[in-house]
Structure formats: C-alpha cells, structure tokens
Chain A
Amino acid sequence: MKEHIIELLSGALPMVNLESDFLFSELDSLGVTTILMLLSEEYGIQLEARDATPKNLKTIDSIVKMVEEKLAKE
C-alpha cells in the first residue's frame, strides 16, 4: 500500500518530498486537500478535514496508517 500511495501522490504533488519525516510541514492547503481527495477516491473511504491532523499527515507511514484505520472502520 505504501508504494502505491507514494506513486499516487507523487504524480499530483511533484513539489512535495513524500519521504520527509516532517511531511505536514512540507504541505500547503492544496497538498492537504489533494491527499484527502485522492486517497478517498482510490480506497473508497471518506477522509475529511478533521482527519488532516499534523499527526496523521506527519509521514507517509502515518498516512498509510490513517488509510488502514479508515478501511477497517468502513
């Protein structure tokens, strides 16, 4: 899943270093919204603004964890 998410997001966010340990600080509001929208569509889950916390978007691993938890709930 991690590789797939990196591939998906790197196409939409070419300026962002997705391997960063401080991913949230690299993002702007467009980046945050793009991640929420792309992952919602790709995995059939509903990611909303309240999911876009600095903790959930800290690294690519925390993003994977957020998606896995949503999938488990829905």
Chain B
Amino acid sequence: MTLEQQIERFAKTTPDKAAVITGNETLSYSSLWGRVQEEALRLGLKEGQPHVFVATQDTDFIVTYLAVHVCGAVAVPLEASTPKERQQQIRDEVNLQSSIFNVSDILYTTGTTGKAKGVMISSRAWTANAENLIDRLGFTSDLLFIICGPLNHLGSLSKIYPTLMTGATLYILESLKDMNAFFSVFELPFQKFATFLVPSSIRMLLQVASKDLAAVASKIDFIETGAAAISQSDMESLCRILPSSRLFNTYASTETGIVCSYEYSKYGCEPGLLGKPMKHSSVRIDEDGRVICSGLTIMSGYVGAPELTADVLRDGEVFTSDIGILDGQGMLHLKGRQDDVINVGGYKVNPAEVEDAVNGFEPIADCICIPARHILLGTVPKLLYVPKQGHEVRPKDIAGFLRGHLENYKIPLLYEAVDAIRHTYNGKLDRKSYQKY
C-alpha cells in the first residue's frame, strides 16, 4: 500500500488523530487528506509529469508533496537555498522529459558520483524504505516523530513515510536553529518521541544543550543518525545522557535508499559500524572494497542521464563511492570514500563545483577547495585562494559572491589566502598534495 493510500485509510479509521503538526498548525488525518485532494485537483498534473517546488518546512510542503503523488505525477522538491538560476536549470532539465513513468520523486543531490543530478525514486522504493525503517527502528502509532532537517533531503523526507504509514504523528520544525522550539515539542501530550539528527546536530546539542536533552531523556524512544560519520565520543555521550533511549546509526544515500542500521546504544559504540542490511536490502563489497547495494530501496536511475545511470546502476546494483567491509556477522563497517566528495553534515559537496563558481569571481586568480576539520561539522569545505595582483579579497566577499551561485551548504566555511595553488604536471589541481593539509 502506498503512503497516500495509508493516509486515506487513516482519514477514515482515525480521522481526528493529529497527522502533521507545525509551530502554528495541526492537521488531523482527515483534514490532511481533504487538503491533499483539493490540492491535487488544483494542481491538475498529468501522470508522469514532473512538478518542481521548493521544500518549505511546513504543512504546505506535505500537502503539495502528497498531492503530486495523488495526481500520479513526479515530485521534485528543491533545497530552499537553491539559487534561482539553478532552479530554472532543474526545471528545464526535468521538463525535457515530458513524462516519467514508475517514478514518484526526483531528488537532486551531489550524491555518489560528485556531480549534481536528479535521482529518480519509485513509489515501490519509498514503501520498501518505510518498511525497512518500521521494522528496524520500530515506528508505532503512538509516536511523535520530530523532523528538523530539510525535507528535500532523503534523511528527513524518508521519515514522512514510516511515520504516516503507521498512523503516527509528524512534527515539522524549520531547523534545529531555535533549540528552545525543539525542546518545547516534548511538552506536547505524547508518550513517545523520536527524531533524526545528522551527527553535526548531535554534536551541537551535546555542546550547548546537554542539560535540556537530559531533562527530556525519559520521553525519547529513539534517535536515528546517519548521512555522515558520528564520532565514538559523541555516541558514548549520547548513550550516557539518554540511558533508556534506542540510538541508531544508519547507512543510506539517495541512490541506495535506506540500507543498514545499527543500534549502538544496545550493541556498543564503534565508529563506522552500521549494522546488517535491513529486510528489503542487500550489501556486498567488491574486490576494491567498494560498497555495492541492491534490493527494493534502490533508485530507478538519474533523470536524463542514461550514461551516468549505467555507470552507477548495473544489473540491479548501486555501485557507491563508499569503501567498507562486511564482518563475520554480515555487519557493514564504513572506512571512507573513493572520490573527492566532501561530506558536510550529510550533504555531499563536489569541490570542483565550488572551484568553478569561485573562478567566476573576478578578483580571484586561482583556488582549490579541500576538506578541513571543523569542531561542530566534522569536515567542511575550505577554500585556499590566490587573489589577483592588487586586489584585497576578504572571505566575506567570496562567500557573498557564492551565495548567488551555490546552495548554502556548498559555500566554504573556512578560507585562507595563499601565494600559489599546486597543480600537477598537466595543469590539473594537485588534490593529493593537499590531503593532509
């Protein structure tokens, strides 16, 4: 049964139960379903027609997202900070495909290969993702699940499914920025709370809100993390503060879907350990140590990019750029990545895309974008740049320029003016020489 069919069912069986709550609005299952039907009529989309819209963190997003599916059309939610020019490029790209069948969503991501592209996800894959999560994490109808990450991203978007498919309640926050708003959710009359937090959000809460977290410990059923590596010390700290909560570390990507999850609060904290594949998923490792995933959750391909699809999706298997091992118990341990992509709190940043944008800034002569350590985010992009002679360039100037050209998460947080950038003999950026920068 699809998500929309389940919501229609709950609209009849538990019509008054809260389905989606935001800071200023509560939609019951019956009112949610009513609004979805109205919006589907208003949109009037054809089957397989792509519908591009910005992912806002509110009930309007949920209504539009579901309404697109009710029409049989394809939802293409975009990151809110996507520059207008880029939004238009994406509209043009998906509109080239007059209709896309057996696809429910297209999620734009840097993802496995490092270039921004649209990952096509079928309704069947979403249902399998939801069943993986319901089975491993234990979603139940009495749960209030808090979403505080962007809804165009797999990490948060995927939680709509198990929450609403089990008749539970979703609480949507704009972000974790207003931590007081996050903690005030726990005052609502629910027995069990759960959330998904990327490792950097966990680090932030541990740094400035550990007392507040401890105060709501007894109410937290589970916290899932994923999308980036979480440190052993943060896992251990969270286990101490939340002794009765179930804490999971999940392996997922837009291309593979949600594949493995490991309950480190029960079985022990070990960095990179992501557990066994879930019920609809399989994992194998090739001779180069590359993680290869298959099963019902995997993508249908990249929109308008058959060659790229053939490179990553072969015979029903997604070849990721992650390097890992499977232990004797069949549990996945991640060891790193094969490519230059920088993972910033779960967002993948292709350094070449950043450099291309910076090279469009007139006062810059040369630059390279490299990964660097950051106390909260783990790894962030750092820009080393050479100003043109006679120009004084401040980091603020570069960041301001990039704002109109890149999504916010791709803009470097750290900057350093240098005399020269190292290149290889054939003129390419010498990335290897900056690995230990």
Residue in A27, A31, A52 whose beta carbon sits within 8 Å of that of B208 in the complex: A52
9-residue interface stretch from B129-137, B171-179, B216-224:
B171-179
Among A14, A30, A32, A36, contact of B200 (Cβ-Cβ < 8 Å): A30
Cβ contact within 8 Å between A14 and B212: no
Q: How far is the CB of A22 from chain B (nearest CB, A)?
A: 13
Main secondary structure of the interface of B (DSSP, over half): helix
Contact with A along B200-227 (1 / 0, CB 8 A): 1100110111011000000000000000
11 A-B residue pairs with CB within 8 Å: A14-B413, A15-B403, A15-B411, A24-B177, A28-B177, A31-B177, A32-B177, A36-B208, A49-B180, A49-B212, A50-B209
Q: Is the CB of B208 within 8 A of A30?
A: no
A58 to chain B, nearest CB (A): 13
Residues of B within 8 A of A36 (CB): 207-208
User: B345: nearest residue on chain A (CB-CB)?
Assistant: A30
B399 an interface residue at 8 Å Cβ cutoff? yes
Residue B83, interface by CB 8 Å: no
Question: Contact at A49–B209, with CB atoms within 8 Å?
Answer: yes
Which chain B residues in 135-183 approach chain A with CB under 8 Å? 175-180, 183
> Can you list, as one digit per residue, whether each of A25-52 has a CB less than 8 Å from chain B (1) or not (0)?
0011111111011000000000111101
* Min CB gap A46→B, angstroms: 9
Q: Which residue of B lies closest to A48 (CB)?
A: B208
For A11, list chain B residues within 8 Å (CB): 395
- Which residues of A lie under 8 Å from residue B413 when comparing CB positions? 14-15
**Which of B177, B396, B408 has the largest count of A CB atoms less than 10 A from its CB?**
B177
CA distance A20 to B315 in the complex (A): 53
Extra inter-chain contacts (18) besides given A29-B179, A33-B204, A53-B180, CB under 8 Å:
A10-B396, A15-B411, A15-B413, A28-B175, A28-B177, A29-B176, A29-B201, A30-B200, A33-B376, A36-B207, A37-B375, A48-B208, A49-B205, A49-B208, A49-B209, A49-B212, A50-B212, A52-B180
**In the complex, B318 has a CB within 8 A of chain A:** no
Contact at A15–B408, with CB atoms within 8 Å? yes
Given contact pairs A14-B399, A28-B408, A50 touches B376 in the complex (Cβ within 8 A): no
Tell me the dominant secondary structure on chain A's binding face.
helix
Say yes or no: B175 contacts A52, CB within 8 Å: no
Interface size on B, residues (CB 8 A): 30
Question: Do A49 and B179 form a contact, CB below 8 Å, given A15-B399, A15-B411, A34-B376?
Answer: yes
Query: A29 and B180: CB pair below 8 A?
Result: no
A52 touches B399 (CB 8 A): no
With both beta carbons as reference points, the residue of chain A lying nearest to B409 in the complex is identified as A28
**Do residues A48 and B209 form an inter-chain contact, with CB atoms below 8 A?**
yes
A29 contacts across to B, CB distance below 8 A = 175-177, 179, 201, 204
Instruction: Given A14-B399, A15-B408, decide whether A33 and B208 contact each other with a Cβ distance below 8 A.
Output: yes
